[in-house]
Structure 1
Amino acid sequence: MENILRYYLMPHPPLIIPSVGKGQEKVIQSTIDACNKVGEEISELKPETVVIITPHGTMFSDALAISNEDYIKGDFTKFRDFDTYIEGRIDKKFNEELINICKRENIPAAGIDSNILKKFNRQFELDHGAMIPMYFINKYYKDYKIVHVTYAALSDIDLYKFGMAIKESAKNLNRTTVFIASGDLSHRLSEDGPYEYSPEGAKFDKTLLDNLQKGDVLNIFNMDKYMVENAGECGLRSIFIMLGAMEGEEVKGKVLSYEGPFGVGYGVMTFNNELKNNSNLELLINMKKEKFKKKLSDKNPYVKLARESLNHYYSSGHLMAKPADLPKELSKQKCGAFVSLKKFGKLRGCIGTFLPTTDSLAEEIIRNAVEAATQDPRFPRVREDELLDLDISVDVLSRPHKATKEELDPKKYGVIVIQGHKKGLLLPDLEGVDSVDYQLEIACEKAGISPLEEYEIERFEVKRYKEEE
């Protein structure tokens, strides 16, 4: 018998709580009914421990956060409900076993408590990503302890291995366990939703749920990056961890409900666990290696040069010389260039020059790639083991020209604001920057210029080159 008795995907819209929704919750009655069904099922299973993976606790960039005190509680005051609270006892023995396994397997995870969180001016408390699943469990069953984990922006393989560590912990302790992946799906399903609409939102939700029902783990980890980034989801990393906990089992998902009336996808799923012999981990690792090989053999000379520059620097400690076999536009042309590094869809570093500072565009890219990884003050230096997870893009800039506000277009033109020696630059076609006013506001902030003061404006165009995905 498996120690993890059942797996669930559950959403966490605060308005599903009647004292928060005040009638609005009736619009997602199917979701409420499905969550109640999950609560009833868990009461029949009577687990000793409930593991909840959430996106909304205190999140660290470099490690999964495991809440590690005897007791934890939270409330809904930020949602104007001053009476409802959720509390739970923490399974510290489970935490101890899990943290030890993570240390052994080099999985970035750490126990956090009140003293640690005080250093970051944060409270030790339950977040709504955990409280809402617990609300439906507690209606039917309360005799359990919890393992409360906030995921981090780690590699998909590390998240999968963390799920495997949860499974091993339950087995080692012979702890009957239920696993809940808390996460909403796309937040961009409609024009009147909380975030900017994207047609990729509905496509993401359908693709993910279809693959979960079919148990196609490789396709879930291999979903189109553009679709995932533009979906605006918060549940995928919780699902990666859940799938890791299913390692060695056949993934069979059943959709209990799916709704998106507020522009956010709410999916409730249950998963049966049946043992099988083959390992998805090995297939996932091999798939990732193949993707990296594809990046290394990218035929685009701009991003290929940036990638080679990084690899050379991290292996030798110094900048590479300009290769002799480059196209003329790289070896002879002089212009500014920005190199951007993304990791799991999030910016990891970006450095560039809006006017040429070297003898060729190639040298501009070689230097800026390394500086994006090592000198961007917004981020810690990129580690060598992160190179595998980086996606690289190169923007080649045209010469800037003076412009008026009316001549700007944030999708087509980048902007430079100038006041004396102060300068701020913003590239075009950035996610979330969809108005001229917002584009200028960000550029002014970067320059240390008040938007109410007078300043000059210049605009420029870019050619953007990305690695194949």
Structure 2
Amino acid sequence: MISPHAGYQYSGQVAAYGYNALKDSGFTRVIILSPSHFRSGKRFRGVSILNAKNIKTPLGLIPIDLDACKQLLDTSKDSSSNVSRKPAILFGSYEGAYQGEHSMETQLPFLQMALNTFKLVPIMVGILIEDDFERVANALQPLIDDKTIVVVSSDFTHYGEGYGYIPFRKDIEKNIKALDYGAFDKILNKDFEGLKTYRKETGINACGIMPIELLLKLLPDNASGEILNYDTSGHQSRDFSFSVSYASILFTKSSEVKSGLHIPLPQEKTSISQQSLLTSEEKVLLLSLARNTLETYTKTGTSQKLDHVTDKLPLRLKEKYGVFVTLKKSGELRGCIGHILPRTSLFQGVIENTINSSSNDRRFPPVDAKEVSDITIEISVLSPLEKIHDPVEFMVGKDGIIIRKGPASAVFLPQVAVEQGWGRAETLCHLCQKAGLSRDAWKEDGMEFYIFTADVFHEGDRT
């Protein structure tokens, strides 16, 4: 994971998106790759291992994995005394490397909240050149197992006079985002050489660029990356004379979707359905579950008992996803309720939202048992939210969208605009009205936009 390290009031919300995905993931060891901002004035080549037994935060002590640290330090011992040109010692405990340095410590409270108990391998990355990346990555690789998460601490573009970086003076917000996403493209494609070239061509001054490049050497071929959230301090303060960019980026292996990381792994702006998130058999199971719930609840006022079948459900249906259940009668909406964020297992979410759609949608009277045979059920399984800063990024027919301004908010699933025949502007106008705002409120300052994709399936669907 790549996580920002600015003051929490600026980057904390972005970082939280990544750490929220780590909850209940079962990781027991954390390797942190932090950049050295050289505040102590001591530049060093290689990486520094903190010489301590524990690190203390206001949330308690974090034990350091002393065996892992010793293993890394031992890799620098050259047993061959006959080598005429010994390689540089890349692992050490360099005095002053951590003095005044915040890039690691800002990650620690998040980790304590997300993982509770774990051991830490604290690594401060100095200057790496030539084959240093390969050598450090090769030394780290044996430590990375299914119980270990690697966290890279980095902010991205630092724009402004104070940072000595002003590559443009017009359309600053737009150009900063383009600059950052150019780097993200190389990172998500695990393109080590491409990122190095991009850095030379643009001068992008992401402070953790070397830890990020090291991460790209560590990632396996089957790792898939996703931008969970992105923001800038300029956007928050409405002042782009100085701006720092923040991103929460998560890489997982395909097998990890079933091992506790409760997020799907779509590429950026690729719909879940294109990746066959759910098999046809799993979709049939969820629709059958919704149908039985609807029939039972409208007759008895209670949901069906599932104790005898829960253990037999596929693992994917026990994972957490945002999900909506939509009821239609003669093609017309009869109820639709769901939750955007993944707060419960998928099968339980289908049960809850089937009941809520049939009885708690205030737009309609409760569904009567006599109506059930005339109702068809549609289920939408949602991807994680992605914050966008320009509604032009909202793709009608592909993305669902949420708007929020102050306490007012509203959501449309991806299929709504298509079913109504709306374009982007018309969809946003209707969404504002749904939120109780003026039709053109989406054009105003202070409006927040979030998009997501959905795997949508319904009864009678044979695809």
TM-score > 0.5, shorter chain as reference = no
TM-score w.r.t. length of structure 1: 0.44
